[in-house]
Amino acid sequence: MTEAAIRIDGVRKTFGPKVAVDGLSLVVPRGSLCGFIGPNGAGKTTTIRMIMSIIFPDTGSIQVLGKGSALESKDRIGYLPEERGLYKKMKVGAFLAYVAQLKGINASEASRRAASWLQRVELGGVINKRCEELSKGMQQKVQFIAAVLHEPELIILDEVFSGLDPMNRRLMRDLIDEQHRAGRTVIFSTHAMFEAEQLCDQIFMIHQGRKMLDGPLTDVLEQFDTRSLVVETQSDEGVQQLRNVEGVAEVITGTDRGADKRAVQVLLSEGENAQRVLARIASTVSVKRIEVRRVSLEEVFLEVVRRSGGGEVDERLLAGFAVSSGEGGES
Amino acid sequence: MNRTLLIAIREFKAVVFTKGFVLGILLTPVMVLVGVLAVKLIPEAPEMKVKVALIDQSGAASDFARKRFGSEGAQAEAERVAAEMTKQIDQATGEMGLKGPAVDAAKSQVQSSAAMITGGAKSIALEVLDAGANVDELKNQVKNAQVGFGAPQLMAVVVVPKEAVSGPLVDGKWAEHQLFIHPKLDFQIASIINRRMGDAIVDARITSDPRFSGAQLSPEVVRATFARPDPTPQALGREGDKPSMGAVQMIVPFAMMILLMLSVMTGGQYLMTALVEEKSNRVMEVLLSAVSPMQLMTGKIIGMMCVALLILTIYGGAGIAGLIVANLVDLIETSKLIWLAIFFFCAFFTIASMMAAVGAAVNDIREAQTFLTPVMLTVMLPWLMVMPISRAPNSTFATVLSFVPVMNPFVSVIRLGGSEPVPNWQLAVSAVIGVLTALVTAWIAAKIFRIGVLMYGKPPNFTTLIRWVRIA
């Protein structure tokens, strides 16, 4: 499965004077689970729509599942658009069956699959309800089912986590993971960095229409390793003592929230080994907790935006994420 | 199953299997009927008790006036009106070949209308005053009358000058009587007073003229002499003489035109609103990930065409059934129905394409209004010209209009129902123009559709649409 599921080559798309996507090249390996991130207005939805052949690039080429365009393999692709909606007056079961039929599944099989999928996402009772009677989260799940009902090889999900509560986010994550494990290629765009970090093996980031990050998640995170420790001291004096430890370049305080009041970020000097400094701190300062800090995708995201001159990001915000990444609290 | 067909079926079901559609289809004719009946049920003469003062300066008219306003005169008047109306009904139903309970019902309606006039007559009391009575004082009395349903009030004053009965004629005309009324007096009562006084004065003229009385000519004889004969025209047909169709002729072109417009516009309207809704609740992208814009548009148009055809069949079928019941079925010919079907398809595809383009281009219904106005105008224009076109379907005006794209199916349908047969070649040319128009509109609409369906934000204008057509 080394063949690319999607190959984008030098694609550019403008809307009037606005350049939405500029010289974008990407390869999505088959069977991978890719996160597609970027700030609002970065060009994610435009890129996805071009992949789907809903709109067409001005220049460059896009290959999908080995074909010249998604039009030739529409039935092998599942798509959850960002701008999502259902026929308000249509019954949920009928809607799903209709969409599946449009994807080439025969009527009886489409109804059967719709029913079993609704059961799986705990929506068995709504099959005969009108779509407008569902809550936003329920609608989201129905949309997801519509995208995967025909068992596509490639699943493209645009902003799949928006509007979901934590429980449903987790359910969605499990569903996506399950599709991935079944050997399908999944691409999802999101602003939910935690979910992206949890799920993806590949990550792409675009900003202002240009590619900023591309590659396996672990590589990307390593690239942005800030080389620092997180230390929670027993007392306030401990923080002072930290500054005197050999190999410590800087101690950043006030980056914590809530329970981690005394946690600080310790930046290492150039060329220092994290393990050695960790040992020194442990022997000189009385600490509650000490760990090598792992950079989070969220920090990477903010850092990339900051470096490329995205003026909207507040520096304090960046510092604020130093210790308190991973709000979800699980791993 | 073919995806275009799948879309068509869903669109058809989404419209037809709704309470709104079923009620709309059934209720429209019911409401028309109720409207017609409501007009008939409004009482013709209001029951207002009225007193009329007569100042007869001629001295000859008051006796006749008393007779005309008395119960005997009112009875005679009612009978005369009833007879006149019955004759008209006989004439009209005879023209249409109608008979049976409906006609009898109409006749009995006339009897009761006539009775109402008699009743109305009783509520008008005439009071003859001296020739020298003070007119200004009476006028004041009328002006200050309290309008109500209590004791009869003086609501009108009639002054008959001497010259109104005995002449001389000025510029070949008799002098007229004067009628002063309270501003709130019902116009029907005012006209009854006027008519009765007029009749009384004419009676007075005839009897007081020695040339008539000497020859022993009664007012009735003189009046009958001057009544203009008004026979019913007899149209000469192959199956023998039968009464001319008259106004009935207009029914078919009107009905065909209404049917065509109703079905085409309803289908088009549904198409547009469905598209606007899909766009605004973002179902569009889900659909476009499965089918191409062309398949989507075609499917929708076919679905709505079936809706329009259904409307056409229901109303058209009801109309034909009505004609069969009324024994008028020879007003329509099979060939005309075939032409109607052909022009229906031309008109539907043209209008539906326009509606699809508009629906795809705009963000909400309000924005659509700008684009709908020209569409509506081209459809309404032939509607305004139904009369001239159907009365002279072979005039240069009608012929040329039937070749003008977009409106030609409508004009041709009116011509078809008109008073003269239209040359087949002209209908064929019009149909070809209709088909070409439909193709061109669909082609343009497809381009606008493809770009428009995914465009959100700034409402487009005509320039934008033209640009889309160019770049698509």
Instruction: Give the model confidence (pLDDT) of A220-233 as tens digits.
Output: 888 887 778 888 88
Distance from the Cα of residue A89 to its chain's centroid: 32
At A74, the pLDDT band (50, 70, 90 cuts) reads confident
Instruction: Determine the average pLDDT of the residues in A258-276.
Output: 76
- Pick the more confident residue, B125 or B119: B125
Judge whether residue B245 has pLDDT over 60.
no
Q: Count chain A–chain B contacts defined by CB atoms under 8 A.
A: 62
Share of chain A above pLDDT 70, in %: 89
pLDDT at residue B432, rounded to an integer = 95
Strands B240-243 and B234-237: antiparallel
Nearest neighbour of B283 by CB, restricted to A75, A79, A86:
A86
Task: Return the closest-CA partner of residue B336 out of B349, B323, B325.
Answer: B323
Share of chain B above pLDDT 70, in %: 85
Query: Distance between CA B375 and CA B386 in Å, rounded?
Result: 18
B290 vs chain A: nearest CA distance in angstroms?
A: 6
Assign A292 to helix, strand or coil: strand
At A317, the pLDDT band (50, 70, 90 cuts) reads very low
pLDDT at residue A331, rounded to an integer = 30
The verdict on B1 touching A (C-beta cutoff 8 Å) is yes
A58 vs chain B: nearest CA distance in angstroms?
A: 12
Instruction: Find the residue in A nearest to B6 (Cα).
Output: A102
B353 vs chain A: nearest CA distance in angstroms?
A: 21
A55 vs chain B: nearest CA distance in angstroms?
A: 8
Least confident of A231-240, B298-307, B391-400, B427-436: A231-240
What DSSP designation does A69 have? S
pLDDT at residue B319, rounded to an integer = 80
Q: Does residue B358 contact residue B371 with C-beta atoms inside 8 Å?
A: yes
Instruction: Find the residue in B nearest to A46 (Cα).
Output: B454
Assign B222 to helix, strand or coil: helix
Q: Does residue B416 contact residue B422 with C-beta atoms inside 8 Å?
A: yes
**Average pLDDT in chain B:** 81
Instruction: Sort out which chain A residues have CB atoms less than 8 A from B10's CB and list them.
Output: 98
Listed in sequence order, the DSSP H helices in B385-423 are 386-391, 396-401, 408-416
Query: Distance between CA B169 and CA A168 in Å, rounded?
Result: 101
Q: Which residues of A touch B (CB under 8 A)?
A: 49, 52, 54-55, 71, 74-75, 77, 79, 81, 83-90, 98-99, 101-103, 106-107, 143, 146
pLDDT at residue A324, rounded to an integer = 36
Give the containing element (helix H, strand E) for A12: strand A4-15
Query: Distance between CA A168 and CA A131 in Å, rounded?
Result: 18
Instruction: Determine the average pLDDT of the residues in A239-262.
Output: 73
Nearest neighbour of A83 by CB, restricted to B7, B285, B290:
B285
Taking CA A194 as the corner, what is the angle to CA A188 and CA A200, rounded to the nearest 5 degrees?
45
Query: Distance between CA B227 and CA B109 in Å, rounded?
Result: 26
Query: Distance between CA B282 and CA B276 in Å, rounded?
Result: 10
Neighbours of A276 (CB within 10 A): 12
Instruction: Sort out which chain A residues have CB atoms less than 8 A from B282's CB and list them.
Output: 81, 83-85
Residue burial B70-93, b: 16+ Cβ < 10 Å; e: rest = eeebbbebbeeebeebeeebeebb
Q: What is the pLDDT of residues A268-314, one digit of tens each?
A: 887 788 888 888 888 888 888 888 888 888 888 888 888 887 544 44
Instruction: Sort out which chain A residues have CB atoms less than 8 A from B7's CB and list them.
Output: 102
pLDDT at residue B40, rounded to an integer = 64
Q: What is the pLDDT of residues B160-183, one digit of tens each?
A: 988 888 878 888 888 889 999 988
Query: Distance between CA B94 and CA B243 in Å, rounded?
Result: 7
B280 vs chain A: nearest CA distance in angstroms?
A: 9
At A319, the pLDDT band (50, 70, 90 cuts) reads very low
Tell me the range of A197-211, A231-245, B233-247, B311-325 where mean pLDDT is highest: A197-211
Instruction: Sort out which chain A residues have CB atoms less than 8 A from B454's CB and list them.
Output: 49, 54-55
Q: To the nearest 10°, report the CA torsion of B335, B339, B341, B343.
A: -170
Strands A33-37 and A185-189: parallel
At A29, the pLDDT band (50, 70, 90 cuts) reads very high
Nearest neighbour of B290 by CB, restricted to A49, A102, A107:
A102
Instruction: Determine the average pLDDT of the residues in B310-330.
Output: 79
Identity (one letter) of the amino acid at B17? Answer: F
Strands A154-158 and A77-80: parallel
- Pick the more confident residue, B231 or B47: B231
**Average pLDDT in chain A:** 83
Q: Does residue A298 contact residue A195 with C-beta atoms inside 8 Å?
A: no
The DSSP code sequence of A90-126 is SBHHHHHHHHHHHTT--HHHHHHHHHHHHHHTT-GGG
Where do we find the tokens 């010289």? A23
**Could A52 and B289 be called an inter-chain contact, meaning their C-beta atoms sit closer than 8 Å?**
yes
**Could B454 and A88 be called an inter-chain contact, meaning their C-beta atoms sit closer than 8 Å?**
no
Judge whether residue B94 has pLDDT over 60.
yes
Neighbours of B162 (CB within 10 A): 14
Judge whether residue B464 has pLDDT over 50.
yes
Task: Return the closest-CA partner of residue A40 out of A6, A82, A78, A7.
Answer: A82
User: Which residues fall within 8 angstroms of residue B170, CB to CB, at 6 or more apart?
Assistant: B163
**Could A103 and B290 be called an inter-chain contact, meaning their C-beta atoms sit closer than 8 Å?**
yes
pLDDT at residue B303, rounded to an integer = 93
At A129, the pLDDT band (50, 70, 90 cuts) reads very high
Task: Return the closest-CA partner of residue A320 out of A265, A238, A269, A266.
Answer: A265
Instruction: Sort out which chain A residues have CB atoms less than 8 A from B274's CB and list them.
Output: none
pLDDT at residue B248, rounded to an integer = 63
Beta partners for A24? A11
pLDDT at residue B427, rounded to an integer = 92
Q: What is the pLDDT of residues B380-418, one digit of tens each?
A: 888 888 888 887 888 898 899 899 988 899 899 888 877
User: Which residues fall within 8 angstroms of residue A304, CB to CB, at 6 or more apart?
Assistant: A205, A207, A212, A213
Both structure tokens of B369: 């209004």
**Could A49 and B454 be called an inter-chain contact, meaning their C-beta atoms sit closer than 8 Å?**
yes
At A114, the pLDDT band (50, 70, 90 cuts) reads very high
**Could B7 and A101 be called an inter-chain contact, meaning their C-beta atoms sit closer than 8 Å?**
no
User: Which residues fall within 8 angstroms of residue A283, CB to CB, at 6 or more apart?
Assistant: none
What DSSP designation does B153 have? E
pLDDT at residue A330, rounded to an integer = 33
Assign B237 to helix, strand or coil: strand
**Could B289 and A88 be called an inter-chain contact, meaning their C-beta atoms sit closer than 8 Å?**
no
User: Which residues fall within 8 angstroms of residue B332, CB to CB, at 6 or more apart?
Assistant: B252, B320, B323
pLDDT at residue A313, rounded to an integer = 46
Judge whether residue A85 has pLDDT over 60.
yes
